[in-house]
Amino acid sequence: MKTIQLNKWLLWLLLFTILSACSLPVEQEPGLTLALSKERKSENKYSDWLAHQNIEFEFIDLSLLPLSEALKALEKADGLLLTGGNDIYPGWYGKEYDTARCGVFDHGRDTLELMALGKALEMKMPVLGICRGLQLINVQQGGTLYIDLPTDKGTGDIHRADQEGWTEHSVWLQFYDNFPETYSNQLTAVASNHHQGIELLAPSLKAVAKSQDDDLIEAITLADSNTEQFLLAVQWHPEWMDYEDGFSGEIAKKFLLEAEVYKQEREQKLIPR
């Protein structure tokens, strides 16, 4: 009799365990993983700007990792965002003799971002560049920069007030590659804060937007229209603009959607992460 009761107790315990396991919440599909070359510490964070699109993601701040670890972490990402920041060392584009008109350099960051961009392009990962990010993409692809717009073009006050002040100026979107077609061939005001810019555009890139006032290149994509690689870079700062603005929110949305496509394709091809 005791044996029968014990077996019933064990049977009930097993049944309870099975039912409990079935009632556990289903594990949700993980969101995107984005690599940011360097995030801000306080206001106007790039991650906040992206998060406004209500697409789930986590991000890796590559600047907080040693070079080898950062490049390894990039392999797990679904997109690379090259953010704004310090001037790029002129030696990377053949003007090492002209450093006096530059700001402070971060050689470690230059190296990390140039290598990260090369790796992302090799992996055909979506890439978005903002301000310095646009300049770095052009340099990495073989282009050059104006060292100082105020002295090289006489138009520095259009793009930056005094030494670090923000300005607003109009940009003309010439082509809508990677932009919504509704923004083609029209002027739009953008937030700006930079004293350098693209001088000679790398042959592999195409200018898709220019400043109305001085014709400075303001946005670039890859010149090869047949490539499946998504690359878009803007000279202005969409994360400092109204998130609902077409030149702000639509850029974030496009990048995130491209990252989702990349993630799905990787999973379908069973590419190891």
Determine the angle formed by the axes of helices 132-140 and 107-122, rounding to 10 degrees. 70
Helix (H, G, I), strand (E, B) or coil at 262: helix
C-alpha distances in angstroms, 221 versus 86, 227, 270? 22, 11, 28
C-alpha span between 71 and 91 (Å, rounded): 23
Closest CA to 232 of 249, 208, 261, 212: 208
Radius of gyration of the chain (CA): 24
CA distance 9 to 210: 77
Do the beta carbons of residue 77 and residue 34 sit within 8 Å? yes
Does 96 participate in catalysis according to the annotation? no
- Contacts of 232 by beta carbon, 8 Å cutoff, 6+ apart: 127, 128, 129, 178, 219, 220, 221, 251, 254, 255
User: Which residues, including other chains, have CB under 8 Å from residue 212's CB and lie 6 or more apart?
Assistant: 169, 170, 171, 172, 187
169 annotated active-site: no
Identify whether the C-beta of residue 117 lies closer than 8 Å to the C-beta of residue 136: yes
Single out the catalytic residue among 218, 239, 258, 260.
Answer: 239
Q: Which residue, among 220, 210, 43, has the nearest Cα to 140 in the 3D structure?
A: 220
Q: Given the residues 159, 169, 194, 237, select the one marked as catalytic.
A: 237
Clarify whether 131 is annotated catalytic: yes
Strand, helix or coil at 247?
A: helix
**Residue of 102, 113, 131, 260 with catalytic role:** 131
- Active-site amino acid positions: 131, 237, 239
